Amino acid sequence: MENSKELRNWLDEMALSHPLVIAGPCSAETEGQVLKIAHELKDTDVNYFRAGIWKPRTRPGNFEGVGAIGLKWLQNVKKETGLKTATEVANKAHVDLALEHDIDLLWIGARSTVSPFIVQEIAEALEGTDKVVLVKNPVNPDLSLWLGAVERLYKSNIKNLGVIHRGFSSYEKSKYRNIPEWQLAIELQTKFPDLPLINDPSHITGKRDMIFDVSQTALDLNFDGLMIETHCDPEKAWSDAAQQVTPKKLVQIMEDLKIRKETDEEAGYKKDLSNLRAQIDIIDNQLIDILGKRMKVSDGIGELKKQKNVAVLQTTRWNSILGKMILEGEAKGLSEEFVLKMFKAIHQESINHQEKILNS
């Protein structure tokens, strides 16, 4: 992936005036359902019509997809509406069938990206294809696993590549179905700025009411496109009913989204921006300086504890610091989530420092 610029070609060739849009139902259910949705999406911003044919469900017994017959329905979607088609593939048999049915975009699902065996099998089955292939992030927040999958495909001579950010599962309760962990997508974007990056707000949120906000965040972060599950009768969908939106709602979302430009050449803007960035640089240096000072104090505490043979971790003291800082943070417009994360990291660094002293 030395020359990641070539990875952008398939997207740039489309010369879109808006982010790339992939929309359609979570699952193809009946031919009528698929065609109805596709016709409603026909004259909108949608570029690719998606539908899951083979559905990986966490527990058996739920609807597991209609199988290969659905590929014929997707061919009819293309014939009747001109929309390009997209589906998920999870093994070589899926790939062969999807290529036979001229599916334009194939994506690798989050449960497949975690397995280098499966990704390798798919990469070999796709060898040299000019179809678009998108890799969803793995279910666990592991950037190298995600990148590894992209590299396997690239090595198989597949150049029309991209990635889909669909969030990460977590044991902790959260308002998201899959926590976005935006920093991972940003890190990937920084490493490969030309690798098209699509956001999937449907699987991140799990709830249709939250889709707009997550989509806007993605566009603010310079994502190249969105994949949004769309169904004419979302409540009655056979899978992922809570997160699908109607075609009408999708059009509304696209209309309301503010599409940000990557940059602006106007002199005033550039001057203001560089002024603000200079201030940020100064503050960042101060932050590092003050954190260094805090650790020095913490080292002093470590020395004291060592003399008296006292344990490093003092839970009551720690809980009272956290409670106070959350309140202080709130007053300064900092979210509880951020303050907690930041102080957990500071506390861990403190513990590491003190342990070093106690064990020296």
Region 187-246 residues binding ligand PEP, contact defined as CB under 6 A: 203
Residue 222 region, left (φ>0) first, then alpha (ψ -120 to 50), else beta? left
Per partner kind, with CB cut-offs from 5 to 8 A, the member of ligand PEP, Mn ion, none near residue 185 is none
Closest contact distance (angstroms) between CB of 316 and ligand PEP is 42
Q: 318 has which bridge partners?
A: none
Q: How many residues does the chain have?
A: 360
Which residue of 26, 218, 237, 339 would you call a contact of Mn ion, by CB under 5 A?
A: 26
Does 138 contact ligand PEP by CB under 6 A?
A: no
**Long-range pairs for 310-313 at CB < 8 Å and ≥24 separation?**
312/351, 312/354, 312/355, 312/358, 313/351
Closest contact distance (angstroms) between CB of 244 and Mn ion is 8
Per partner kind, with CB cut-offs from 5 to 8 A, the member of Mn ion, ligand PEP, none near residue 84 is none
The neighbour count for residue 292, using CB atoms within 10 Å, is: 9
Coil, helix or strand for 229?
strand
Coil, helix or strand for 52?
strand
Does 88 contact Mn ion by CB under 5 A?
A: no
Closer of 224 and 240 to ligand PEP (Cβ): 240
E strands within 84-186? 84-89, 105-108, 132-136, 161-165
| Residue in 303, 341, 297, 306 with CA at minimum distance from that of residue 322 | 341
Does 136 contact ligand PEP by CB under 6 A?
A: yes
Closer of 25 and 196 to Mn ion (Cβ): 25
Which residue of 21, 28, 37, 52 would you call a contact of ligand PEP, by CB under 6 A?
A: 52
Region 69-128 residues binding ligand PEP, contact defined as CB under 6 A: 88, 109-111
Residue, CB closest to ligand PEP:
109
Residues that bind ligand PEP (CB under 6 A): 26, 52, 56, 88, 109-111, 136, 166, 203
